[in-house]
Structure 1
Amino acid sequence: MQMQIKPIPSEWSQLISMVNKLRKTNVVYLAGGAPRDYLLDKPIKDWDLFVYTESPLAIRSCLQDDFNLQRSVGNADGFYEGLAEERGVQAIDYFVNMNGELQVIYLSRNMPLVELLEGMDFGLCQVGTDGKSWTFTEAFIKDMENQTLTHYRYFEAEKRMKERYARLSKKYPN
C-alpha cells in the first residue's frame, strides 16, 4: 500500500510549539493513533500528546488555563506505577475539547521520539511528530507495505491487562 506523506496539520505543530514554549521543554510529541489515522485518511478518535516534564501539574494547569481544556476522566491524582512507569510514563491526563479527547502522557524521562514509538504495541501505531517532521519506525513501514497489523509488545500483554484491570476496577467499582 502506498501512503501519501501529508504535511503535519498546522494546529498540531502550533499545539506542540506552544507547550514547548510554555514549559520550556523540547520533548513534546504527538504520536500513535492520530498521526496514523490522519496519514491513512481515517477518522481520528483522540490525540496522544507525549510531554517530558518534571512538573505534570504545571502542564495540566497550562492546558486548562491557556487552552481552555476541560479534564475528563482519569486517575484522580494522575500518577501511575508498574508497567507504565517502566515504559517511562509518570502520569496521564485526559482532556475533552470540541474535536474529541486529548490524552496528555507525561514522560518521566527525556527520550527520543523513535524510542517512544518503538514502545508502542502495534507496528501500525509507531508513527509520530515533533511538530516539524514525521518519524516512522521500520515496523510502521513494514505494516503499511504489507497491510498487516503486527503486535510487537506481546510479552507485556498479560501484565498490562492486569494493571489496566486494576485501574478500571478502581474507576468503576460496581
Structure 2
Amino acid sequence: MKFLIVGLGNIGPEYSLTRHNAGFMVLDRMAAQHGFTFSMTRLAYTAKWQHKGKQLFFVKPTTYMNLSGKAVLYYMKQENIPIENLLVITDDKDLPFDKLRLKPKGSAGGHNGLRSIDESLGTQEYARLRVGIGNNFSRGKQVDFVLGQFPEDELIQLPAYLDRAGDAALTFCTMGIQAAMNNYNQ
C-alpha cells in the first residue's frame, strides 16, 4: 500500500526556519531520524521509504506555497496514490504553537497552499495535519509572522514537536486516520 505525505513550505535558505515551512521541517526531521534522503525531482524534492509494510512517498514542493497543488496532483498521478492515502502537513496560525490537529478533510482556512491543492485536486476530501504556529501578531502583520523565524523559546521545543508530528503522520499510514486523530489531536 502506498501513501503520499506532502510537507508544505517555500524553498530557499531565507525560508528554512520560518513558521510557514513547518511542513518541510516535519519531513526533514523524519528523514534525519529514519535515514531516508530527498532528491530534486520534477516540481519537488522527493523521497521514498518503506515502513511497516507500507511504501511512503514524501514530497516537498518546489513550486512555492501558492502553487503546491501542481506538485501534489503530479505525484498522486505519477505514483498512482488514491486520495484517501494522501496526507498534507502544513502550518496553522489558528492553532497554538505545540498543538497538532489531524482532520480527514476540511477547508483551506485561508491557507494558500491548501487552496492550491483544493483547486488542483478539485476536492477538499483529503487528510491534513495542521501544525500550530500560534498567532502572536498584530493586525496587518500576518505575512511577517508566518514568514518569520521561530523565537528562541519555541526553537528549543521544536525538535520534540516535529517528532510528534512525524509520529502522527506514520500513525496515519499504519493505523489509519481515526487512530492518528485519537492519539495526536489535542
TM-score tier by shorter-chain length is under 0.3
Q: Bigger radius of gyration, 1 or 2?
A: 1
TM-score (norm 2): 0.26
Higher relative contact order (CA 8 A, sep 6+): 2
TM-score (norm 1): 0.27
